Structure 1
């Protein structure tokens, strides 16, 4: 039997240069009123989410309310974000808002979407900061503007 410890898991921050990680952390702290420690956790989990999205085969993944600002701030650094996407995925990782008028996007609860994403991140070998991925019944929506997901199209 193999036992996996937290030390065996990858951190999202390992996917980018430390200077870029710091720049994103500072941006999240400033724009979303977090201390640097919380902002670093958010950016780390956004990167783990994106790293998982890059290779995930299956339905689209969805960030939590807590993690989504890390993705949003990274997207604003378009040159860095595009280079990151090309390096880890070989393609651009689009941010796709959920269309509340599309029946294909309805029916899955936020709890199920977040749990599916958390399971995928863990399966990909990343550390999951469970405080930033609420899976309790209190989750009202998966994140920004009624939900958004990663793209699955290559």
Structure 2
């Protein structure tokens, strides 16, 4: 009898969807603009780019970033030329930001995280408010403790 050992599938990362130089510029800007530690800004940008890729490729209009990941989208958009070029190269159209922070719920964040995972991306659930050790109500959506 032969036993097959499955090779682990490498997860995708948002950072790999842009050039390393652009990613570094975005991280530095995000850290400076939003007062984040560099390591946190790195994770925020990675998740924001992965989120945007899923939104753009699926043309999803019902997805929203967590409050913690949203600054990554803002950062990318503020680099308007690079953001516009990236959108057109990846999707053939510009992904607009239509703020809908009023609908951020734990359920929505779980759904968004699930969609990002389906597309093969590594998800840092602490940034989405879906970490298993989240304590409601303080962490019911995207609170700082998650």
**Partner in structure 2 of residue 61 of structure 1:** 63
**Partner in structure 2 of residue 85 of structure 1:** 87
TM-score normalised over the length of structure 2:
0.81
Q: Indicate which of 84, 92, 100 corresponds to 1:98.
A: 100
Q: CA 1:69–1:140 in 2, change beyond 3 Å: closer, same or farther?
A: same
- Shifted more, 12-21 versus 91-100: the winner is 91-100
Larger Rg over CA atoms:
2
Segments of 4+ moved more than 3 angstroms: 1-5, 136-143
Q: Indicate which of 18, 40, 50 corresponds to 1:38.
A: 40
* Unaligned ranges ≥5, structure 2: none
Q: CA 1:3–1:118 in 2, change beyond 3 Å: closer, same or farther?
A: farther
Q: For residues 2 and 63 of structure 1, what CA distance do their matches in structure 2 show?
A: 36
State the SS of the aligned residue for 1:61. Answer: coil
**Partner in structure 2 of residue 146 of structure 1:** none
TM-aligned CA deviation for residue 67 of structure 1:
0.5
Q: Which has the higher contact order (CA 8 A, sep 6+)?
A: 1
Q: For residues 127 and 104 of structure 2, what CA distance do their matches in structure 1 show?
A: 18
**Partner in structure 1 of residue 116 of structure 2:** 121
Counting matched residue pairs gives: 135
Assess if the C-alpha contact under 8 Å between 1:121 and 1:128 holds in 2: yes
